Structure 1
């Protein structure tokens, strides 16, 4: 009987404040979509770091014939200089830092260049002599790039020591900032959702003050009186969370998996399973917002 009464009160409350309830659903949907987008973006950043940082190499570019760098004043790197560099890279001193070494000759570099840019018109006039040899060094810990940089920068026969993270990290920085922007927008929208849920519950409580007074007179507890109002907010917020999860799922499915992953293939993207990873958190946030808003509002507006 009590359950039937509570359900009927919830139905009455939702019907009386239908427009406000729809507003709560929409604001919760938008705010949690921003929260979910920020979470998914962070998962994507972590995925890229795990995938790319394991493949990061330090490139030691050897002097070409026409370089103006002071260490290349003697012209193209000689076989003796190359052998000396190889010996040092394979020596015991660097063994704790170096995982793998690969030497790329000018011919190897030209073969890779031709394979990658075969269809580009500007690449047709490039020859092997226009490229330079290099050592590609995979590190045990990519964070220890500075060890190799300090050791080989300024060495005769070496034009430049370059860390591939210099290419990756600007993109990671942009994504991190985008994640922060999404989180900031989510915080603003969550505040709007709290205010709207509070207003909705207050209006619902004020419109039913007579019923609340009667329930007080017959000895109903605070929890029994407040529960329908709390559940109204929780139901609206949960619907908004469900719409948010659905929107994020469709976004990842059709924008990321079906479009972006087919257009830009060198990035390992998150999939729809990532949406289900953050879905419980979105649901908890939605219910938490509704609960906090309800408790704060009802402590004042259900007094008789």
Structure 2
């Protein structure tokens, strides 16, 4: 009987403040969609880092006669210099850091160049001897690339030692900025949702102040009085949270899995499993914030 009375009060409160409830639903939906998108973006960044960093190599470019640097002086790396560089890769302390390495000569570098750019335009002026011979090194732990760069840089016949992660880091930095921006917008929207829920509850309580007075006179506890108002906020926020969860799942299913996976490439993308991990987080955040703000709002009102 008491449960039926509470649910009746909840329904009555929602009907009286329908426009405000709809506003709470929409604000919660938008804010939690941003939260979900930010979480998915962080998951995507983590997957991309794990995928590409493990495949990132350290390139040891050898001198050619076209490089006029202090270490090269327009002189091709000699066979002895190449052998010395390879010896460094095979012996301590570098050998323990390296999982494998491969040597790429001029012809192999030229073939790779043609695969990427073809034989038209400016590519027709590039010859095999113009491209440097290279040792491509894979590390057991890509985070230890500094040791390799420091040890091999400046060796006779070495033009440059380059960690490919330097090309990837700006991309990840840009993605992180986008993720943090989404989080910032989401926080502002969540604050707006909390304030809107509190305002809705206080308006609902004010419109039923006569009923509340009677309930207090007949001995109803504050908890019994507060529960319908808290449930009003929770119901509105729960609907918005469910809509946000559905939006996140739809985004992953139709855009990420349906469109991005069709684009040629090997980058792994977040999947429905990741989206289904995010959905409960959105539900907990939405319902938790709604219950907290509604409880505080009605408690402050009952003290007046």
Q: TM-score, normalised by structure 1?
A: 0.95
The answer to whether structure 1 residue 255 and structure 2 residue 255 are counterparts is: yes
| 1:233-280: CA deviation from partner (whole Å, max 9, x where unpaired) | 001001111111111122222222222333362422112221111111
Gaps of 5+ in 2: none
Which range moves more in the overlay, 179-188 or 74-83? 74-83
Task: Work out whether residues 66 and 130 of structure 2, in 8 Å CA contact, stay in contact via their aligned partners in 1.
Answer: no
Aligned to 1:50: 50
SS in structure 1 of the partner of residue 138 of structure 2: strand
SS in structure 1 of the partner of residue 100 of structure 2: strand
Query: What is the rounded CA distance, in whole Å, between the counterparts of 2:201 and 2:107 in structure 1?
Result: 74
Task: Work out whether residues 67 and 74 of structure 2, in 8 Å CA contact, stay in contact via their aligned partners in 1.
Answer: no
* Residues matched between the structures, number: 304
Aligned to 2:136: 136
Which range moves more in the overlay, 275-284 or 159-168? 275-284
Task: Work out whether residues 99 and 140 of structure 1, in 8 Å CA contact, stay in contact via their aligned partners in 2.
Answer: yes
Taking only aligned residues, the RMSD between alpha carbons, in angstroms, comes to 1.7
Deviation at 1:292, TM superposition (A): 1.2
Which range moves more in the overlay, 254-263 or 290-299? 254-263
List aligned pairs for 1:143-162, cutoff 5 A.
Answer: 143-162=143-162
Aligned to 1:95: 95
Aligned to 1:234: 234
Task: Work out whether residues 152 and 158 of structure 1, in 8 Å CA contact, stay in contact via their aligned partners in 2.
Answer: yes
List aligned pairs for 1:119-198, cutoff 5 A.
Answer: 121-198=121-198
Which range moves more in the overlay, 90-99 or 158-167? 90-99
| 1:153-185: CA deviation from partner (whole Å, max 9, x where unpaired) | 122211110001101111111111111111111
List aligned pairs for 1:26-65, cutoff 5 A.
Answer: 26-65=26-65
Q: TM-score, normalised by structure 2?
A: 0.95
Task: Work out whether residues 17 and 200 of structure 2, in 8 Å CA contact, stay in contact via their aligned partners in 1.
Answer: yes
Query: What is the rounded CA distance, in whole Å, between the counterparts of 1:92 and 1:205 in structure 2?
Result: 75
List aligned pairs for 1:212-223, cutoff 5 A.
Answer: 212-223=212-223
Deviation at 1:115, TM superposition (A): 2.5
Describe the shift of the 1:120–1:199 C-alpha distance in structure 2 as closer, same or farther (beyond 3 A).
farther
Task: Work out whether residues 68 and 74 of structure 2, in 8 Å CA contact, stay in contact via their aligned partners in 1.
Answer: no
Deviation at 1:93, TM superposition (A): 2.7
Task: Work out whether residues 194 and 290 of structure 2, in 8 Å CA contact, stay in contact via their aligned partners in 1.
Answer: yes
